[in-house]
């Protein structure tokens, strides 16, 4: 339908609606139609009750319509006989009104009576109809013009301007060094003369780099809130459109708007969507994304100076950004926002717990040590899950039980105790997880075992939870080798006891293969391959990595495969030897797991030291009572059952749990066991954790 047709249709529709309203209201407020006999009766009744003063009957000689008018308002009307017909009702009407036989009289007139006489609606309805027509016509005209106006505004920036940011540096915790770097920006925005007098130039751009959930966007808001300046926020994907030139136009419009609000902050979230290296796409120099990036480069550091505009951006893919974007004068500073250490996690927990009622015995230091590898977003989610669990239990405050369950829920998902599990599956899972736990305790470089369970969580039918004692920043070859052995422990336990293998080790094998390959190709941990780094298994960046992805010969690829296989087979043989030597411990631990479903550090230590199953049951009964209110007691007081710690291959002992420091996230992941019955649809795939640095 054309625009003209739409206008005509709209006008006609409005007219029809106005007429319908007119006749509807007319029927409600106009005179009532009655028979002529009833008309005469109503006139006579009115005269008897009120007299004839103010009363008139108007007779239309052409239509023979008799209208009863009271004080100027039409009340009733009827079709009657002509004045010369000699009708008895007509004579009665004349008699009542004091008229003569010819129809003359003081209260009888001839002519036309307005059926809406005296009603305000008779005047308002036409006016309302005209107004409605005008309004609709104006809206239609505006709509037709809106196409051209929208076309003109299509290239406008989609940035959202926030004038009053409530976030402050006090709301950001766990990154004191990063906060100090950004505090200089705030001070410049508040007192620029302090820097200009010394000839200093504030950085034009600040790039926040770090894993997801570490608070990059929160840092940008805190800077704007502390400086109390306008905050322009936009996503990198908002620049890119299918139409040529739109992205560049939006960049120009963004900076034009920012110039009018100097000083201000322009924040571009996920800048990798628009800032990727040029020349790596399929569109060449005419690629729309490249044009947008070129305009951004010019706006940040071109002929025109943008004094008072600080550009902040956030990304977790700094490796793919264009070098021209990262040079001094554009993004002068790169601030790496890493995962928080133990003190940072404690501070973050305190910030997110401000509006949550906690029981008095909640210890943030303990929580911080128990949440190694958690990001700020993970910690916030942990407290939120704990609050939900407390509300589900109709509690008024959040306790340690909810926090403990919240940690496991964030890592693995909710427990699935209602899942029906056969005895055969339970036995396989028990031996599988026992194999992981025993190897982890016997290998001196593995992280201490915290919890072993055969209760399904998420996609895992069971899990072995290990926690690091301290925040190691490096993964040694010995530790990686022990970790590979630990991952193979579940599969080896099935081979030894069940005399068969299940699909539950699929994720373990995947992680083992990935670790072993990186040890050979990236970390130089193979004597045969040497200190040569080959390409990693990271996703190919089209245009940049296409050639590098095949940078070695087929002979070298064969050597790499042999070395990877050698590492895995060596760890497998070692796991077979350890579990075969400790077969009795393996059987006892599986028996306890089948009976009690979950065991902890102390129970694992007792079994390795030769304690009987009955002794373990007795200890668990007493420990469960102590840990009923505070489950963290199991890991804080390790002197209860075993003061010696776990045995190792060379007689070493596990480090104390109270050691401070940060932990790489890859060390704090559980070893999970998938459901054997999932083999019908392929092996179970538990949620992947990080495996390496």
- Which positions are annotated as active-site residues? 433
SS3 letters across 426-438:
HHHHHHHHHHHHH
Q: Please choose, from the candidates 219, 210, 213, 216, the residue with its C-alpha nearest in 3D space to the C-alpha of residue 179.
A: 219
* H/E stretch holding 146: helix 121-153
CA end-to-end span of the chain = 62
3-state secondary structure of 208: strand
Structure tokens at 647: 């045995």
Distance of CA 637 to the CA centre of its chain: 38
Specify whether the CB–CB gap between 490 and 498 falls below 8 A: no
Q: Which residues contact 158 (CB under 8 A, 6 or more apart)?
A: 234, 238, 250
* H/E stretch holding 672: strand 671-674
3-state secondary structure of 360: coil
- Helical H runs in 64-120? 88-97
Q: Please choose, from the candidates 273, 174, 259, the residue with its C-alpha nearest in 3D space to the C-alpha of residue 222.
A: 174
Task: From residue 614, give the alpha-carbon distance in Å to each of 269, 272, 528, 587, 622.
Answer: 58, 59, 50, 14, 13
| Alpha-carbon span 310 to 204, nearest angstrom | 5
- Helical H runs in 468-550? 477-493, 506-521
How do strand 264-269 and strand 231-235 relate by DSSP bridges? parallel
Phi, psi of 59 (to 5 degrees): -110, 120
Specify whether the CB–CB gap between 250 and 294 falls below 8 A: no
Specify whether the CB–CB gap between 488 and 508 falls below 8 A: yes
- The upper half-sphere exposure of residue 403, i.e. CA atoms within 13 Å in the direction of its Cβ, equals 29
3-state secondary structure of 62: coil
The DSSP code sequence of 586-597 is: HHHHHHHHHHHS
């Amino acid at each position: 339908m054309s625009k003209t047709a739409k206008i005509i249709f709209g006008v006609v529709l409005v007219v029809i609606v106005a007429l319908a309203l007119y006749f509807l209201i007319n029927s409600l407020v106009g005179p009532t139609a009655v028979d002529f006999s009833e008309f005469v009766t109503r006139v006579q009744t009115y005269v008897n009750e009120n007299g004839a003063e103010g009363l008139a009957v108007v007779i239309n000689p052409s239509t023979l319509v008799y209208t009863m008018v009271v004080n100027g308002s039409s009340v009733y009307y009827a079709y009657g006989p002509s004045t010369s017909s000699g009708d008895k009702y007509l004579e009665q009407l004349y008699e009542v009104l004091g008229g003569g036989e010819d129809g003359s009289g003081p209260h009888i007139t001839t002519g036309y009576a307005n059926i809406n006489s005296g009603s305000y609606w008779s005047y308002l309805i036409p006016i309302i109809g005209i107004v409605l027509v005008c309004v609709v016509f104006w809206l239609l005209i505006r709509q037709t013009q809106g196409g051209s106006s929208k076309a003109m505004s299509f290239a406008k920036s989609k940035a959202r301007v926030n004038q009053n940011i409530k976030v402050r540096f006090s709301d950001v915790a766990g990154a004191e060094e990063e906060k100090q770097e950004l505090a200089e920006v705030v001070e410049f925005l508040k007192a620029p003369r302090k820097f200009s007098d010394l000839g200093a130039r504030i950085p034009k751009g600040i790039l926040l780099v770090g894993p997801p959930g570490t608070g990059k966007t929160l840092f940008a808001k805190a800077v704007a809130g502390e400086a109390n300046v306008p905050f322009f926020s936009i996503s990198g994907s908002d620049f890119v459109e299918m139409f040529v030139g739109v992205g560049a136009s939006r960049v120009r419009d963004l900076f034009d708007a920012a110039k009018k609000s100097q000083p201000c902050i322009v924040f571009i979230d996920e800048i990798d969507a628009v800032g990727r290296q040029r020349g790596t796409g399929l569109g060449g120099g005419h690629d729309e994304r490249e044009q947008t990036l070129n305009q951004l480069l010019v706006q940040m550091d071109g002929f025109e100076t943008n004094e008072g505009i600080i550009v902040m951006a956030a990304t977790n893919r700094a490796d793919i950004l264009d070098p021209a974007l990262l040079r001094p004068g554009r993004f002068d500073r790169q601030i790496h926002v890493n995962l928080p250490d133990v003190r940072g996690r404690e501070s973050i927990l305190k910030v997110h717990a401000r509006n949550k009622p906690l029981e008095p015995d909640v210890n943030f230091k303990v929580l911080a040590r128990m949440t190694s590898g958690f990001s700020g977003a993970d910690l916030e989610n942990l407290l939120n899950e704990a609050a939900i669990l407390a509300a589900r239990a109709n509690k008024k405050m959040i306790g340690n039980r909810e926090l403990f369950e919240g940690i496991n829920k964030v890592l693995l998902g909710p427990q699935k105790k209602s899942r029906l599990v056969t005895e055969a599956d339970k036995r396989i899972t028990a031996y599988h997880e026992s194999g992981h736990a025993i190897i982890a305790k016997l290998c001196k470089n593995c992280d201490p075992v915290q919890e072993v369970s055969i209760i399904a969580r998420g996609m895992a039918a069971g899990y072995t939870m290990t926690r690091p004692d301290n925040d190691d920043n490096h993964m040694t070859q010995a530790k990686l080798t022990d970790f590979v052995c630990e991952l193979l422990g579940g599969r080896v336990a099935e081979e030894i006891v069940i005399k068969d293998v299940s699909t539950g080790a699929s994720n373990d094998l995947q992680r083992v293969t990935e670790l072993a390959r990186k040890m050979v190709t990236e970390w130089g941990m193979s004597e045969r391959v040497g200190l040569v780094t080959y390409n990693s298994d990271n996703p190919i960046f089209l245009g940049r990595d296409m050639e590098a992805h095949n940078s070695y010969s087929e002979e070298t690829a064969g050597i790499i495969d042999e070395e990877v296989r050698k590492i895995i087979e060596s760890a497998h043989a070692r796991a077979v030897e350890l579990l075969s030597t400790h077969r009795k411990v393996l059987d006892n631990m599986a028996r306890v797991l089948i009976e009690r479903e979950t065991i902890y550090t102390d129970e694992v230590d007792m079994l390795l030291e030769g304690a009987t199953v009955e002794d373990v049951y007795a200890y668990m009964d007493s420990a469960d009572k102590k840990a009923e209110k505070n489950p963290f007691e199991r890991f804080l007081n390790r002197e209860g059952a075993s003061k010696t710690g776990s045995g190792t291959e060379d007689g070493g002992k596990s480090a104390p749990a109270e050691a401070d420091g940060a932990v790489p996230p890859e060390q704090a992941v559980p070893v999970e066991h998938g459901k054997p019955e999932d083999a019908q649809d392929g092996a179970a795939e538990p949620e992947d954790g990080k495996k390496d640095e």
